[in-house]
Amino acid sequence: MRFYCFHLMPWPYLPADFAQRYDSAWVTCPNTLYDPEPGHVLYNRYLDELELADALGFEGVCVNEHHQNAYGLMPSPNIMAACLARRTRQAKLVILGNVLPLYDHPQRVAEEIAMLDVITRGRVISGMVVGTGMEYFSYNINPTYARERFHEAHDLILKAWTTPGPFSWLGKHYRFRYLNPWPKPYQKPHPPIWIPGSGSPETMEWVAQKRYTYMVLPTLAPFELRRQSAAYFRECCEKAGYTARHEQIGWGIGIYVAETDAQARREYEPHFWYYARNLLKTPPQLSLPPGHTSLPTMLSMAERRLKSRPGGLRTWEEVEKGGYVVVGSPETVRQRLEAYAKEVGFGLLIANFSVGSVPHELTRKSMTLFAQEVMPKLRPLNTDPPAAADAGGTP
Amino acid sequence: MHETTLDLRGLQVRLLRGGRGLPLLYLHDTFTLAWLPVHNRLATACEVFFPVHPGCAGAAGLEHFDDLEDLVFYYLDLCEALHLERPVLLGASLGGWLAAEMAVRYSHLLRGLVLVGALGLHLPAAPATDLFRLDPAQVRAALFADPTAPLAQRLVPDTPDPAALPSLLQARQMLARFAWQFPDNPKLARYLYRVRLPTLIVWGAQDGVVPPAHGQAYQEAIAGSQLVVLPQCGHLPHAEQPEAFARVVLDWLARLTP
């Protein structure tokens, strides 16, 4: 098992009556609720936490991309990765953006990832995502082109990384007479690619064909639904003619560790509810704009997915039983994760310690307990033979 | 009414048609996708051709259309395939915008123009509503003068009947393809002077999607056009006030020189 530390960089200072007064923490949530003074402290605190992850021996740190929202304050994940590039020593920088369809110049993504990869001597893992429905409102990108733009931008970036320039690109959404990005990535043929997803079959089929790493996102659904996603991804790999490696499956999960189960729950629960009730608050018309997900997927999944979102949860018992997060003493957390790992077979654990409004000291404590008491015991699980492991996400 | 399917350069077009007389090409909105009693009323004065847009009501083909220009050429092809001799063009909502785009280019191929709650213009003081941001109750309030009427519940249900869901989602996709966020063409107003056709503009007084000021703007920009604002009526006059709507259109058609 390999361990990655994921951060959402949430805004923890929404008013107590937020959920009653606003219908969404996204797109139209007034930015008068943001304040750059505490914002300054917060960014630096969150970066400190990711730097701590490097020091604690996590293999990588993960940043991501969301726009115009209180849920995650990283509109530019590449800037956050740049902040971390020279302050971390061994950790891989996993950029779980970029939201490719939002950009009219995908070569900018190719350039920035290459810059980071060269600066860090090949520590970058490049995530590529379609993005949430909300981003399409925020950036005025027609969601009926989400998939087309994603695939075309992906193809363009891969070509920019691997084909000697200059060359021309004549696609439907992108046309460039001269593509010739300087620099090129440090890693050959290019940085590993991870595709995070929340269970869309079309994404999983494509990731399997490309032999990329699929990461089951930590934020939206209960264990059972995410287990089904991982199982479907394996099936897709079999259909593509190979067996998925453990390290081709990333398992995102909210984790909180304290001295005892009771203390963990007591310290964590209010912050979980802040996350579930405020930060995830978004109406379905924002999260599922037309075309963002294909019609068959919409029909088969939309309702199930919406029903299982943490926004609909009422009690801690539901949270525990559903396996939305793993919270407890080191021993409890180890047992739960071991059981999940054995059942699902994932070889990458992507732990999110930053759920909701958990304060800095508690986050540090939880990360440290996890790294010292849980990680060593889980490490031998779900490892791939060394030869295969080196292929890590490259096609 | 009878329904036929024709092949238009490889795309299967579902065509509903009925009546006799002047040809009238009906360009539908994305909320009422069926032949309604009001179409029978229109069919007493003309031959109504109601093609189902690509990507609506089970029809495939939306992937071939990127903007309204593509639909303009598609319906030119359809007029030729059907040998329509200078049809009257009647369009509602998205269909109204499409009709206006056709009329600024091809007035000489048309006999008359009827715009019903047409999208297409941007008025900074009275912008069209972003329907995609709204929940079903808010959409009903925008679309209908009486959002509590059974019609409103049927066309915009809170929980769609699973059998109706694909068609509803498809229609939303069709609208989003052409009208995402700003349902207008910023250049359309500049060219409306090119509409040289007898033109009738029908608007619901309570249209909460495209405010009646847009009807006024179309009327002022198209020489000799006539604006009729219907009371107790929202964005879909043909559905919400079918009788009053039919009377206005039939009167206007009767005065149209053949």
Residue A316 CB neighbour total at 10 angstroms: 14
**Residues of chain A with C-beta less than 8 angstroms from the C-beta of B59:** none
Residue B184 sits at the vertex; the CA angle it makes with B180 and B188, to the nearest 5 degrees, is 150
pLDDT class of A217 with cuts at 50, 70, 90:
confident
Cβ–Cβ of A298/B169 closer than 8 Å? Answer: yes
H-assigned helices in chain B: 37-42, 68-81, 94-106, 136-143, 150-155, 165-179, 188-191, 212-221, 237-240, 242-255
Q: Which of A83-97, A286-300, B53-67 has the highest mean pLDDT?
A: A83-97
Best residue of B168, B169, B182, B184 to probe chain A, by most A CBs closer than 10 Å: B169
pLDDT of residue B200: 98
pLDDT of the residue at A303:
58
Instruction: Tell me if A290 and B165 make a contact (CB, 8 A cut-off).
Output: no
> How many pairs of residues across A and B have Cβ atoms under 8 Å apart?
44
Query: Has residue A392 got a pLDDT over 60?
Result: no
Under 8 Å between Cβ of B88 and B24? yes
Instruction: Kindly tell me if the per-residue pLDDT of A308 is higher than 80.
Output: no
Instruction: State pLDDT tens for residues B147-161.
Output: 999 999 999 999 888
What is the pLDDT at residue A312?
74
How far is residue B223 CA from its own chain's centroid? 21
> A2-389 adopts what CATH topology?
TIM Barrel (3.20.20)
What confidence score (pLDDT) does residue A313 get? 84
SS3 A252: strand
Contacts of A286 in chain B (CB under 8 A): 133
User: The tokens of A331 are what?
Assistant: 């021993």
Kindly report the backbone phi and psi dihedral angles of residue B16, in degrees, each rounded to the nearest multiple of 5, phi listed first. Answer: -100, 135
Under 8 Å between Cβ of B91 and B114: yes
H helices of chain A, in order, are: 18-21, 36-56, 77-85, 106-119, 133-138, 146-162, 201-210, 223-239, 261-274, 284-287, 295-307, 316-322, 330-344, 360-369, 375-378, 386-389
CB nearest to A285's CB, from B62, B132, B169: B132
**What local confidence, expressed as pLDDT, does residue A302 receive?**
56
> So where are chain A's domains?
2-389
What mean pLDDT is predicted for residues B17-22? 96
The answer on pLDDT for A149 being more than 80 is yes
Contacts of A147 in chain B (CB under 8 A): none
Query: What average pLDDT does the segment B104-124 reach?
Result: 98
Cis amide leading into A98 (omega within 30): yes
Q: What is the pLDDT of residue A395?
A: 43
Does residue B220 carry a pLDDT above 90?
yes
**pLDDT at residue A126, rounded to an integer:** 98
A137 and chain B in contact, CB less than 8 A: yes
Give the side-chain half-sphere CA count within 13 A for B226: 14
Query: Smallest Cβ distance to A140: which of B133, B169, B181?
Result: B181
CB-CB contact of A98 with A78 (8 Å): yes
Confidence of residue B247 (pLDDT cuts 50, 70, 90): very high
How far apart (Å, rounded) are the C-alpha atoms in residues B254 and B258? 9
pLDDT band at A390 (very low <50, low <70, confident <90, very high): very low
Residues of chain B above pLDDT 90, percent = 94
| Contact state of B173 with A142 under an 8 Å Cβ cutoff | no
Q: Kindly state whether B67 is in contact with chain A, defined as any CB-CB distance less than 8 angstroms.
A: no
Q: Give contacts of B62 with chain A, Cβ < 8 Å.
A: 144
Query: What average pLDDT does the segment B42-68 reach?
Result: 94
CA distance B237 to chain A (A): 25
Residue A142 to residue B176, Cβ atoms within 8 A: yes
Q: How far is CA A298 from the centre of its chain?
A: 22
pLDDT at B133 over 70: yes
Of A144, A285, A291, the CB nearest to B134: A285
pLDDT over 90 (residue A51): yes
pLDDT value at residue A353 = 95
Contact in structure between B41 and B246 (CB atoms under 8 Å)? yes
CA distance B134 to chain A (A): 7
Q: What local confidence, expressed as pLDDT, does residue A299 receive?
A: 77
pLDDT for res A54: 98
Q: pLDDT-derived band of residue A391, with 50, 70 and 90 as boundaries?
A: very low
In contact, A176 and A166? CB cutoff 8 Å: no
Q: Other C-beta atoms within 10 Å of A197: how many?
A: 20
Average pLDDT over residues B185-192: 98
Could you give the CA distance from residue A72 to residue B122 in angstroms, rounded to a whole number?
Answer: 33
From the list A28, A290, A299, which residue is nearest B166 (CB)?
A299
pLDDT digits (tens, 9 = 90+) for B83-98: 999 999 999 999 999 9
**In whole numbers, what is the pLDDT of chain A averaged over residues?**
93
ipTM of the complex: 0.95
Q: Which pLDDT score is estimated for B161?
A: 87
Top residue of A29, A68, A285, A299 to mutate, by most chain B CBs within 10 Å, is A285
At A388 the pLDDT is: 53
pTM of the model: 0.95
| Cβ within 8 Å, pair B133-A286 | yes
Cis previous bond, B162, omega within 30: no
Where in chain B are the domains? 2-253
- A175 in B contact zone (CB under 8 Å): no
Residue B116, pLDDT above cutoff 80: yes
* CATH pick for B2-253 out of 3.40.50.2000, 3.40.50.1820, 1.10.1530.10, 3.40.30.10: 3.40.50.1820
Contacts of A140 in chain B (CB under 8 A): 180-182
Whether the Cβ atoms of residue B180 and residue B95 lie closer than 8 Å to each other: no
Top pLDDT among A302 and A130 is at: A130
